[in-house]
Structure 1
Amino acid sequence: MSENHSNPFENSELTTILVVSNMAKSKAFYVDVLGADIFREYGGDSLVLKFLGDWILLVTPGGPTADKPNTHFVSPINRDSVSHSFTIRVQDCNKSYEILKGRGAEFITPPVVNGAETRCFFRDPDGHLFEISEYRAT
């Protein structure tokens, strides 16, 4: 295989970085409400989580660095304007909704049925959007 066709991501994993305004609130949400596992904390402003087989890195706001000049990390400014969201496919949307609601997740609406799919949305403390979705094959 030529150099241009080799896999640049061999043996790699994807991490999603979320900028949060309050690390303590976010840590409580991701660990206590969602059930994420803490992999590592460092500097009081970064938290690495393992969640559903993926990595989430929570960081506090920060400015440019040598490797990313002119780039600012900011938490969501408007909770109703979304540029990124997570979808979690679940077996039973209503059951997952009740469990997460009982743990303190604040949902936008209860589960809504749309054909073969039932879904609903909630946010983390900074407004990052999560969807739980159940699909029933017809």
Structure 2
Amino acid sequence: MTTDVAPDYFKPEAGIFLATLLIVRDIDRSREYYERVFGATCVHESNPLILRFHNSYIIINVEGGPTDDKPMVQAKAPADSNTLSCAMNVRVTDIRSLYQEWKARGADFITEPKDHGTEIRCYLRDPDGYLIEVGQGL
């Protein structure tokens, strides 16, 4: 689905909305992954790609050089998927069900869900190495 109208995240109802920006090497590969595994839906095709994921948005753009509003900043995907600098955190009500669903869709989880006393959590990586935590409070 493509729209020429700005998605509603540009005009949040309560004045503020937080979305996640991911810098990736291959925008088509990332789109396919987040649509297939997460079930996200495209609301804006490019510059940047914007996917709606439940009540949030994943904004995806390719690597690039500085822009006029950030003249000294390089946009780069993670160089090493084993070094954590940023992670998405997805909170769910039934982690074991979601784990099975996303695993069937091709998600590569690091471990199965583990009980940590106050929450159950597990992690997976996207194609560019971004770490994604999936957790359920107890």
- Shared fold per TM-score greater than 0.5: yes
2: CA distance, partners of 1:17 / 1:115: 31
Q: What corresponds to 2:43 in structure 1?
A: 39
* Structure 1 unaligned regions, length at least 5: 1-9
Q: What corresponds to 1:130 in structure 2?
A: 132
Local SS of the residue matching 1:106: coil
Q: 2:19 aligns with which of 5, 15, 20?
A: 15
How much does 1:16 deviate? 1.8
Within 5 Å, give how 1:14-93 maps onto structure 2.
14-42=18-46, 46-93=48-95
- Could you state the TM-score of these two structures normalised by the residue count of structure 2? 0.84
How much does 1:42 deviate? 2.5
2: CA distance, partners of 1:16 / 1:114: 26
Identity of aligned residues (%): 37
Q: CA RMSD in A?
A: 1.3
- Could you state the TM-score of these two structures normalised by the residue count of structure 1? 0.84
**Moved >4 Å (runs of 4+):** none
Would you say how many aligned residue pairs link Structure 1 and Structure 2? 125
When structure 1 is superposed on structure 2, of 48-57 and 32-41 the one drifting more is 48-57
Structure 2 residue 104 is the aligned partner of structure 1 residue 97: no
2: CA distance, partners of 1:55 / 1:134: 20
